[in-house]
Amino acid sequence: MEVAESHEIIVAKHRNGAVGTVNLHYDNMYSKFGNIVKNSQQC
């Protein structure tokens, strides 16, 4: 059974760009972060 992990990334300083927070999904199998996909958006 795969456990979904959600992490909050805080962008506190960005030259000429927006700051804020982003919620990302961590895929342990590939050791990478990705966008969270809601069930209604899946194909």
- Return the closest-CA partner of residue 27 out of 19, 36, 17: 36
Structural domain tally of the chain?
1
Q: What is the pLDDT of residue 1?
A: 38
pLDDT at residue 9, rounded to an integer: 92
pLDDT tens, 1-43? 355 678 999 999 888 888 999 999 988 889 999 988 777 555 4
Q: What is the pLDDT of residue 37?
A: 78
Q: Is 22 helix (H, G, I), strand (E, B) or coil?
A: strand
* 11 inside domain: yes
Host domain of residue 12: 1-30
Flag whether 36 is in a domain.
no
Whether residue 15 is contained in a domain is answered as yes
**Residue 42 domain flag:** no
β-sheet bridge partners, residue 38:
none
**Looking at the domain assignment, is residue 35 inside a domain?**
no
Predicted confidence at residue 2, as pLDDT, reads 54
- Residue reference for tokens 């804020």: 20
Three-state DSSP at 17 gives: coil
* Three-state SS at 32: strand
Inter-residue contact 2 to 23 (CB < 8 Å): no
